[in-house]
């Protein structure tokens, strides 16, 4: 058996999420089906993170084991051929050590959340952003986000169905910036951590949006965090603005 790392890009609309399920379409299921067309299966692949329905990826990472040795570029091409017309692409591929693991070898995950401030309905960006019809105070959101940096119990920002063994995580960075795009002004949230809880990013962004709108004070984020109570969280924002952008490993399979 030879193990291959796959860098995966996908549009989350139309999928139930990453994880394979028997009765609905998933990203994992589509890639495993493509693998079965180049080598008899069954195939089971593992990923760096299980994104929810509607969430996108620019840099998801998975690994697959194959009996036949493949040139990575040819494997990438074959998989992309069999993935059509699904909105999934293998954008890089590399042979890795047999004990290399897409999830457990990762040391950092990075997410982007795109929020579009615009009153008119989004057309070209529909399904790719969360749209709000009001302006947001960037400085207030940055002040609120500072309370979340560091090592904390994130129970407040954790889904009730989260399967993580512990709610304690270390948030390395939250950067919030205003970006002027063709469709209007976006607020982009960039979050970095070794790992995340289920719905943690969407819970944080939804809460910070309330700060930006003036419904919460920045200090209220600290109060919510310290409550360690899911009921203290702000609204959980919708999934379509969320992207898994990058997964970091001690030795990147395809360079930086």
Task: Give CA 162 to chain center in angstroms.
Answer: 15
CA 83 vs. chain centroid, Å, equals 21
Question: From CA 31, how far away is CA 44, in angstroms rounded?
Answer: 9
DSSP strands (E only) in the chain: 2-10, 46-47, 56-66, 88-96, 108-117, 130-132, 150-153, 168-181, 184-193, 242-248
Residues in the chain: 256
What residues have CB less than 8 Å from 229, skipping those under 6 apart?
A: 155, 156
- One-character DSSP codes across 154-183: -GGGS-TT---S-SEEEEEEEEEEEEEETT
Q: Given the residues 23, 52, 65, 173, select the one marked as catalytic.
A: 52
Q: Which long-range contacts (CB under 8 A, 24 or more apart) does 72-80 make?
A: 72/4, 75/4, 75/38, 76/6, 78/38, 79/6, 79/31, 79/34, 79/35, 79/38
Q: Is residue 52 among the annotated active site residues?
A: yes
Largest CA distance in the chain: 58
Catalytic residue annotation: 52
């Amino acid at each position: 058996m030879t193990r291959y790392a796959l860098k995966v890009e996908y549009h989350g609309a139309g999928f139930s999420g990453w994880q394979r399920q028997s009765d609905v379409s998933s990203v994992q299921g589509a890639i495993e089906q493509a693998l079965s067309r180049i080598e008899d299966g069954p195939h089971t692949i593992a990923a760096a993170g299980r994104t929810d329905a509607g969430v996108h990826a620019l840099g998801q990472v998975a690994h697959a084991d194959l009996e036949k040795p493949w040139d990575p570029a040819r494997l990438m091409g074959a998989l992309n051929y069999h993935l059509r017309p699904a909105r999934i692409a293998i954008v890089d591929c590399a042979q890795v050590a047999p004990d290399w693991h897409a999830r457990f070898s990762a040391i950092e995950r990075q997410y982007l959340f795109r929020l579009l401030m615009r009153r008119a309905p989004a057309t070209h960006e529909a399904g790719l952003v969360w749209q709000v019809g009001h302006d947001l105070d960037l400085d207030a959101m940055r002040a609120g986000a500072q309370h979340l940096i560091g090592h904390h119990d994130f129970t407040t920002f954790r889904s009730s169905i989260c399967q993580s063994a512990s709610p304690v995580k270390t948030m390395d960075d939250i950067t919030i910036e205003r970006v002027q795009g063709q469709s209007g002004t976006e607020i982009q949230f960039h979050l970095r951590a070794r790992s995340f809880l289920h719905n943690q990013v969407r819970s944080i962004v939804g809460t910070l949006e309330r700060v930006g709108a003036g419904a919460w004070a920045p200090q209220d984020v600290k109060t919510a965090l310290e409550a360690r109570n899911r009921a203290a969280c702000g609204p959980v924002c919708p999934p379509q603005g969320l992207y898994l952008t990058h997964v970091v490993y001690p030795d990147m399979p395809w360079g930086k």
